[in-house]
Amino acid sequence: MRLRDAFTTHRAHFHDIMKLDETPPSAALSFREWTQPATLATLMALYSDHIYRNQPHAVRENKPLKSLWAQWYLGLLVPPLMLALLTQPQALDLNEENLAVEFHETGRAACFYLTVKEDARATALSARERLEKLVLEVMTPVVEALEASGDINGKLIWSNTGYLINWCFGEWREWLGDETVSALRQSCFFEKTLLNGDENPLFRTVVMREGLLVRRTCCQRYKLPDVQQCGDCTLK
């Protein structure tokens, strides 16, 4: 797979957030490790202390905090994997054993370490099938783990992630092509079910307003101190 070349050509900064075939540092964690309740609680406590560092006595809002934490995690993870699946002839093996995450001292994700392997069966899949595989095998476990930990509804995380995916489509339209982007937007956001019959968690996470696809619900970050607000917040 020429994934390193694809990163360099299309999004050079992906090299900083997705380390390809590098040995993870000892502090890096697998999905199974960071989703352990005690580990996740420690990460969230660190992140909460960071976000509220200038307002230590304020009542802490756990829902928007976990929403923003998830935006960091999936925001760093999903775009490089999308690029790999949508630009490479060989499909990337999405097994969780091939991925580790290094966390920042503030408790949020900093970068990922990916062992690049081909999934021979997935190589024959269409772009839609590959993307739905990413939804089912990578995104869904993360959302379910965070929802199970409390304080947040999975629908909010999916709303944020749908916005992210649509943003990627817009940024990459030039080299993915209008036809591919239009087809993927249709299947991602306007089909109620996935090809395997499961409910589509991305359905209507973005909606058409004034001729543009925009996020449907607020990500809640406005409730957190010292956090830059979205330029297209739904509350405006």
pLDDT band at 221 (very low <50, low <70, confident <90, very high): low
Q: Which pLDDT tens digit goes with each residue over 14-47?
A: 999 999 999 999 999 999 999 999 999 999 999 9
Nearest-Å Rg of the Cα atoms of the chain is 18
Strands lying side by side in the sheet with 99-103 = 18-20, 109-114, 99-103
Residue 208 maps to a domain: yes
The number of folded domains in the chain is 1
**What is the predicted pLDDT for the residue at 219?**
59
**What is the predicted pLDDT for the residue at 52?**
95
pLDDT at 233 over 60: no
**What is the predicted pLDDT for the residue at 232?**
64
pLDDT at 236 over 60: no
Taken in order 196, 199, 203, 205, is the CA torsion positive or negative? negative
Beta-bridge partners for 102: 111
What's the mean per-residue pLDDT of the chain?
A: 93
Beta-carbon-side half-sphere exposure of residue 28 (alpha carbons within 13 Å): 18
Residue 118 maps to a domain: yes
Residue 195 maps to a domain: yes
Measured CA to CA in angstroms, residue 172 lies from 83, 86, 115, 140, 176 at distances of 9, 10, 24, 23, 6
Element (H, E) at 144: helix 140-148
Measured CA to CA in angstroms, residue 105 lies from 102, 117, 188, 211 at distances of 10, 30, 34, 41
Q: Which pLDDT tens digit goes with each residue over 131-172?
A: 999 999 999 999 999 999 999 999 999 999 999 999 999 999
Query: pTM to 2 decimals?
Result: 0.94
**What is the predicted pLDDT for the residue at 222?**
63
CATH number at residue 20: 1.10.510
Residue 232 maps to a domain: no
Nearest CA-CA partner of 199 in 207, 191, 211: 191
Residue 41 maps to a domain: yes
Task: Report CA 195 to chain centroid distance, whole Å.
Answer: 21
pLDDT at 3 over 90: yes
Instruction: Quote the CA–CA distance of 192 and 195 in Å, as a whole number.
Output: 10
Residue 140 maps to a domain: yes
Residue 236 maps to a domain: no
pLDDT band at 231 (very low <50, low <70, confident <90, very high): low
Q: What is the DSSP letter of 216?
A: S
Instruction: Quote the CA–CA distance of 156 and 166 in Å, as a whole number.
Output: 16
| Percentage of residues of the chain with pLDDT beyond 90 | 86
- The answer to whether the CB of 129 falls within 8 A of the CB of 36 is no
Nearest CA-CA partner of 95 in 136, 129, 62: 136
Q: Which pLDDT tens digit goes with each residue over 42-62?
A: 999 999 999 999 998 899 999
Nearest CA-CA partner of 147 in 133, 158, 132: 158
Residue 144 maps to a domain: yes
pLDDT at 235 over 60: no
Expressed as residue numbers, the domain containing 50 is 3-223
**What is the predicted pLDDT for the residue at 230?**
61
